[in-house]
Structure 1
Amino acid sequence: MAISGQWNLHYSWGCSGSYIQVGITFNSNGTFSIPSQNLAGRWTQNDGMILWQFNNNASYGGNLAGNAMVGIMSTFAGLNGCWYAIKAGSTVMPAEEEKVEFDAAGEEVK
């Protein structure tokens, strides 16, 4: 399954049901970035599963299915949440947006 490329990440710290949307790029060399939040890290995938970790150690893990993936994330310091991502260019229904309090890596937005 080709993960490399542009994706739209929707994340919700606390699994509130409202999601923040950001663009995320998975590179074929095992790195990823979220330029709008100045975040980066490393990723791996195997057998329909994906795992990525930001340079500040927040981790996301989940399942892959075609042009979509879904899972959970944690800072391992008390902040947990839910996420899903859709490959850029795929047709989807928009999710309700929420005010940004924490970035995708779990850092408080000031």
Structure 2
Amino acid sequence: MKKYFYIAMIMVIIMALTIIGYGIFVNYKGESVILERMNNRSVIVNATTVKIRQIHAQYEFPEASMYSRQSVDVIAKVDGVITKKYTHKNKYVHAGDVVVELTNEDLPLKIKQAESALRRA
């Protein structure tokens, strides 16, 4: 019985020493990494005389939106997906001209539902 106790104690001591050794290794390695980073923080500076210069503001716009008094937003009265367009960019259109063709997938279903409701009535 004492034999197993001593074996267990030796294993616990070996595990403790292994953990302590690993901690020392990690601490040493961490310190060496920190020292290496601190040594690499030096910067070479080239010095020159100071000059006074005028600063001019410069504005750059990546894109600009311009609107005309004659332009109008197009609003569809029904939902749908545009399947065909009949106009081109910057083309004049007049009242009553067809601009796009919309396809509504829900519209045929609604028509069938209305027809079946009429038949039931």
TM-score bracket, normalised by the shorter chain, equals: under 0.3
Q: Which has the higher contact order (CA 8 A, sep 6+)?
A: 1
More strand by percentage: 1
Structure with larger Rg: 2
Provide TM-score, normalisation by structure 2: 0.15
Provide TM-score, normalisation by structure 1: 0.16
More helix by percentage: 2
